[in-house]
Every structure is written in C-alpha cells, then in structure tokens.
Chains A and B, each alone.
Chain A
Amino acid sequence: MNVKKINFLNMDLFEIILKMTLFLLLFHGGISWHVKIPIKFIVLLTFFIEDLWKKPIVWFSLFLFQISGIWFDYYIIDNHQYLLAYWSLAIFLSTVGPKEFHRLSIIKVNGNLLCSFSMIFAVVWKGFLSDDFLKGDFFLFTLFDDSRFHNFTHFLTGLSFEQLKENQWFFNTVLEGDYKNVPIKELLLNKNVKFTILAKTLTYWTLFVEGSIGLLFLINHFWKKRALFILKHIFLLVFILSTYPVATVTGFGWLLAVFGLSDLEDEPLLKVSYFLIILILQIFSIPMGDIFLSLKEF
C-alpha cells in the first residue's frame, strides 16, 4: 500500500489533532445530559460550518461545558474527563495564538505534559498511596469482579466464564446480605494458581509501563533526543494496545492516542499507528465474553 495515498497523512497536523478531539468529544464528552447535549451540538456545528473547528469560541465553550460537568458530577465523573477538559483548554490557547509555530507548540507541550503527569500521578497512587495495589489485591479482585476483564482472565487462567460470573454473584450476595434473604456475611471465591500469577504480573507490568511513559514523556520534554522520542512512543503504543483490550475505557485510550499524535512532526509510520489504534479501540469494546456465553447457551 502506498502510504502517500492515505488522506490522513496529507492533512495538516493541527487539523488532525483538533478533528480527532472533536470526534472524541462527540462520543465521550461528558456524562450528564446538560453537558453531553451542548457538546454534541457544538461539535456537530463544527462539521457543518466551514473553519468553525479552529475558532477559539468553540474550544472555550467546549472547555466551559466540560468544567460544568466536572463541577456538577464531581463524585461520579471519571478522571479522563478532567484530562479531556485540560486538553480542550490547551487547544483553546493554541487557537488564540497568532502564529502557526505557537499553535503547534502549545499543543505539543501540553500533550506531552498532560500524558506524562497523568501517568506519574497514576503511579504515585498505585505505588505509594494505595493499600491494595502493590500486594496484588487490586487485580486479584478486579479480574473477576469487573466483567471487562473476563475475556482476558478466562483465556489466560483457564477459569471458566461461569466461575468468574459466580464470583461476581458471591460479591453481590455479600453486598446485598439480608436483602436477598441470604444473610451471608462471608464467602470464599473461585481461583487457581494461574489467576494469582496473572494478578501479580499485571500489578508489576502496570507500574512499569505507566511509570516508563510518565518519565519518558517528562524527560523528553527537557532533553530532545531522538532515541527517547521513539522509545516513549513505543511505550505509549504498547500501553494502549495492552491496556484497553482489557480495561475498555475507550475514551481514555483515544485521548492518549491524540496526545501521541500531537507530538509528531514527520513520522508517517507513527501517525498511521496512532490512527489505527483509535480504530482498534472501537473493536475492543465488543463484549466477547457475553457473546461467547450467549453462543454457548444457544
């Protein structure tokens, strides 16, 4: 395939970043109706009105709606919604800048730093502040409790989907207690040796890959070395590819890919990789475990 024929590669980087962010906002911006609907309305307008996608008023409005979502939904909103709001602010600042150079450099600097600090804080929480993570408890529990991990856990440990669902049922029974007329206060769960090994491996892998991305993006911000540049992008691509098939937080993966894109200049292979990853992220959302169970019952 001739890569020059890919339209995506011929587009201006600034335009690619802003349009990818608009698509991201259309599908994953906000959680309450009073944030989602205005965001969708504004984003759709940018598709219909020429050059509206790069107007400061659009990005400032999108930023304000996201801030209002964070304010009103503070106790339920996910962390990537904060990151998306900071990113919209960065794009707003870049659209205000008069020169082409300023536009891309504001985006590039903030893409790098937002990616770096979100990973660094994630590692600080997991490695130093949490009581559950380093012991492996977090993954021991999450692998069966969170349905998004079931495909992965089933294929790597041999625990059946039924055993994993049973563990989930145990959790709900203990949680509901007397309400279910089963006043059980204590239950033992299904597991095997591979399950324990998998939880430990995931614990250390997560710390390693998140820590590496955080540091590499931060160091490369101050020390412009080609090898570091390539390495940090490889780590980010590996992280997205290894994390989001399991923890299907599509919006977060998509945003990280946009951060990666924002850092590129003349690297067609990396551009195509990030674009493909955004496409693949959509496929990761297919509930394979549920489909497998339905087919089995059928």
Chain B
Amino acid sequence: MKKLLFYLPSFILIMIAFTQIFFAKGLGQTSWKGGGFGMFSSLDSPHFQKTRIWVFYKGKKIAANFSIKVVDKNLYRKFKARPTTNNWLDVVDQFKNTLWYYPMIEEKIKLGINLYPSDFDYIKKNISKSFSVLTYSDGHQVPKEAFFKPEKILLEHYRVRFDSSLFRLTSRKVFQKELFF
C-alpha cells in the first residue's frame, strides 16, 4: 500500500493523459487542453475559431460581435474546446431569452443611418416573465417597451484551416443557427 502511494502522482498523470486522449479522439476535444500533453502538436486549438453574430431588424443586418458576452463564459469555453453540435446548441440557447436595448434605433433606421454594434447600449439576458424595467447603476430606468426585439438573430461559427501546400488560409462555416423572435 505504501509503495502504491509512492507512485500515486505519476499514476494520476498516466490516467488523466489517457482520459484526455479519449476525450480528444472520441468526443472531439482539442488536443491542447485536458492534461494529456497534446499542446504544440495540432492546429485545432480554440484560437482557430470565431463565432459571428448578426441581429436583423427592419430589414437591416447588424454585426453584434460583442454579444457573445451574453453566453456564460465557461459554456463558451467548453464549446470552443470541444466544438460539438450539442455544445453549439447550448451556446445558441443562451440567446433565446434576451432583450436588446438600442437607443435611437427607430430614428436611425428612419434616417437611413448605418447601425453599428457599438451603438447597442445593453443586452439583458435571462429575461424572466416578470421583468418590466431595467435600472442602470446611476439610477435611470428603461422600461421593457424601450427594448427592441430583433426579428431574427443569426449565429455562425467559423473555423480557419491552414493549407501548408499552398501556404493558404481559408475560413469555413462549421455551425449556423437562426433564431426567430
């Protein structure tokens, strides 16, 4: 028993490394994470991925590249480290109960002014049925009616591939989901 304890740290290393190989080869996890020492071996890290988010309102398509903040940080990290369909749907689900506050949106659309993501003032996530008013830290309040509901949100997940024979980078869409409101 004492002798076994002696080797415990090295034994744990081997067990975790085999588990990580199973996660990577069987469940689509990146080789870089999980304690299997696969870092610096493959071009499959989360670094090669990008989620693009678009909001549609009155015929306009608005880039909302900041809105990934709506998603729980650990959930998004999990998706990028293990980009499976189930994990993608978990990310998408986070957008279902959101309200978007975009002051002056009606005026801007009427005047034909382009919409920019920086104009979005607030995204309220996990909206409950009883939600009626948003109170800012300085005390001013925005009623639920002032938020707009996008007609649609389009979520796209891209992956960049490196082609060493042509020394070329290409981006490919791997997941897409439209949410209607």
Q: Give residues of chain A (161-184) contacting chain B, Cβ–Cβ below 8 Å.
A: 170-171, 174-179
Does residue A152 face the partner (Cβ distance < 8 Å to B)? no
Within 8 Å CB of A247, what residues of B?
Answer: 40
B74 and A179 contact, CB distance less than 8 A:
no
Contact of A189 among B5, B47, B82, B169 (CB under 8 A): B169
Within 8 Å CB of B34, what residues of A?
Answer: 74
Q: Which of B13-21, B92-100, B104-112, B133-141 contacts A (4 or more CB under 8 A)?
A: B13-21
Contact of A126 among B12, B41, B160 (CB under 8 A): B41
A186 and B169 contact, CB distance less than 8 A:
yes
B43 and A141 contact, CB distance less than 8 A:
yes
Does residue B86 face the partner (Cβ distance < 8 Å to A)? no
Does residue A22 face the partner (Cβ distance < 8 Å to B)? no
Does residue A289 face the partner (Cβ distance < 8 Å to B)? no
Q: How does the 8 Å CB contact mask read for B31-54 relative to A, with 1 for contact and 0 for none? A: 101111111111110011010100
Does residue B63 face the partner (Cβ distance < 8 Å to A)? yes
Q: Besides A130-B41, A206-B40, 10 other CB < 8 A contacts?
A: A75-B78, A79-B35, A79-B37, A118-B13, A129-B25, A133-B41, A135-B164, A137-B43, A138-B42, A175-B48
Contact of B160 among A105, A121, A122, A174 (CB under 8 A): A174
Contact of A174 among B39, B43, B63, B170 (CB under 8 A): B170
B36 and A125 contact, CB distance less than 8 A:
yes
B158 and A177 contact, CB distance less than 8 A:
yes
Q: Give residues of chain A (98-119) contacting chain B, Cβ–Cβ below 8 Å.
A: 105-106, 109-110, 113-114, 117-119
**A-B pairs with CB below 8 Å: how many?**
152
**Residue of A whose beta carbon sits closest to that of B34:** A74
Q: How many residues of B contact A (CB 8 A)?
A: 49
Within 8 Å CB of B82, what residues of A?
Answer: 75
B17 and A175 contact, CB distance less than 8 A:
no
A185 vs B172: C-alpha distance in the bound complex, in angstroms?
8
A135 vs B5: C-alpha distance in the bound complex, in angstroms?
41
Within 8 Å CB of B7, what residues of A?
Answer: 109-110, 113
With known contacts A188-B167, A189-B167, A122–B35 Cβ distance under 8 A? no
Tell me if A's interface is mostly helix, strand, loop or mixed. Answer: helix
B25 and A79 contact, CB distance less than 8 A:
no
A138 and B41 contact, CB distance less than 8 A:
yes
Closest CB in chain A relative to B55 CB, distance in Å: 13
Within 8 Å CB of A121, what residues of B?
Answer: 17, 36-38
With known contacts A136-B164, A185-B171, A187-B169, A75–B41 Cβ distance under 8 A? no
A179 vs B118: C-alpha distance in the bound complex, in angstroms?
13
Does residue A83 face the partner (Cβ distance < 8 Å to B)? yes
Does residue B24 face the partner (Cβ distance < 8 Å to A)? yes
Q: Give residues of chain B (40-83) contacting chain A, Cβ–Cβ below 8 Å.
A: 40-44, 47-48, 50, 52, 63, 65, 74, 77-78, 80-82
Within 8 Å CB of A191, what residues of B?
Answer: 167
Contact of A171 among B21, B39, B169 (CB under 8 A): B169
Does residue B143 face the partner (Cβ distance < 8 Å to A)? no
A186 and B170 contact, CB distance less than 8 A:
yes
A129 and B31 contact, CB distance less than 8 A:
yes
Does residue B113 face the partner (Cβ distance < 8 Å to A)? no
Q: How does the 8 Å CB contact mask read for A81-107 relative to B, with 1 for contact and 0 for none? A: 011001101100100000000000110
Q: Give residues of chain B (146-163) contacting chain A, Cβ–Cβ below 8 Å.
A: 158, 160, 162
Q: How does the 8 Å CB contact mask read for A70-81 relative to B, with 1 for contact and 0 for none? A: 101011111100
Does residue A236 face the partner (Cβ distance < 8 Å to B)? no
B65 and A179 contact, CB distance less than 8 A:
yes
Closest CB in chain B relative to A72 CB, distance in Å: 8
**Residue of A whose beta carbon sits closest to that of B38:** A125
A109 vs B5: C-alpha distance in the bound complex, in angstroms?
12
A122 vs B77: C-alpha distance in the bound complex, in angstroms?
23
A93 and B8 contact, CB distance less than 8 A:
yes
A137 and B162 contact, CB distance less than 8 A:
yes
A275 vs B40: C-alpha distance in the bound complex, in angstroms?
26
**Residue of A whose beta carbon sits closest to that of B12:** A86
Q: Which of B25, B38, B48 has the most CB of A within 10 A?
A: B38
Does residue A10 face the partner (Cβ distance < 8 Å to B)? no
B31 and A130 contact, CB distance less than 8 A:
yes
Closest CB in chain B relative to A69 CB, distance in Å: 12
